[in-house]
Amino acid sequence: MMDFTNQTVLVTGSSRGIGLAIAQAFDAAGAKLILHARSEIKPEIIALFKQEPQVLQFDIADAEAAEASLKALYKQDDFDGIDVLVNNAGITKDQLAMALAPADFAAVVNVNLNGTFNVTQPVFKKMIRQKHGAIINLSSVVGQMGNMGQSNYAASKAGIIGLTKSLAKEGARRNIRVNAVAPGMIVSDMTSVLPEATQTEILKNIPLSRFGSAEEVADAVLFLAENSYITGQTLTVDGGLYI
């Protein structure tokens, strides 16, 4: 069992799905949690945690809102800093490229890629001063291999991999590790609405012949947060889809 006792962990987009599973895994490992969502997190979600988490509410695409919220967090008298940042929040607006509205391309890149930077930059500055920290960015197998109807999402997630590598080089001298996790087809609200025929076709390309779980993605995130000699890497959690 990994032990994150006395470590403070911020997980963006942690009110549901993969983000919630990641937050719960850190909670089980003893971490002090900071949850984040764009809208209010329901009391029944808060009740899932052993230790009552702090909650941040802002749109990651809004750089000023992200910075203001994080500055207020660091100004708390009893706040010692963030040890682990998990950038999970993101959106999709799928459409074939020939029919994709420029606004929808920009919106996905703005939330997924720019939003990841908007949250990371203020935290990264503090980690530089505290001379330690771990950042895990949620990319996607789509950012590695592309996918029909997801040019905007693929571009944003590929950008996250490039951002991860650059930050890893910048942070290494101050003992800050930056890695990415690239999930494949994970059981979620997004995959549950796919027609059965589509799911069957996708499974043909997954050597392990099943979709993954949010908990399996969370395991990968905790592994990268704990291991002290891995940085600048992308850990693909996809059942072999991208071999």
Q: List, by residue number, the catalytic residues.
A: 153
CA distances, 80 to each of 85, 117, 127, 236 (Å): 14, 22, 11, 32
SS3 92: coil
DSSP 82: -
Q: Which two tokens stand for residue 209?
A: 């012949």
Category of 18 on φ-ψ map: left (φ > 0), alpha (ψ -120 to 50) or beta: alpha
Dihedral angle of Cα 165, 107, 37, 6, to the nearest 10 degrees: 10
Instruction: Specify the amino acid at residue 9.
Output: V
Alpha-carbon distance of 140 to 143, in angstroms, equals: 5
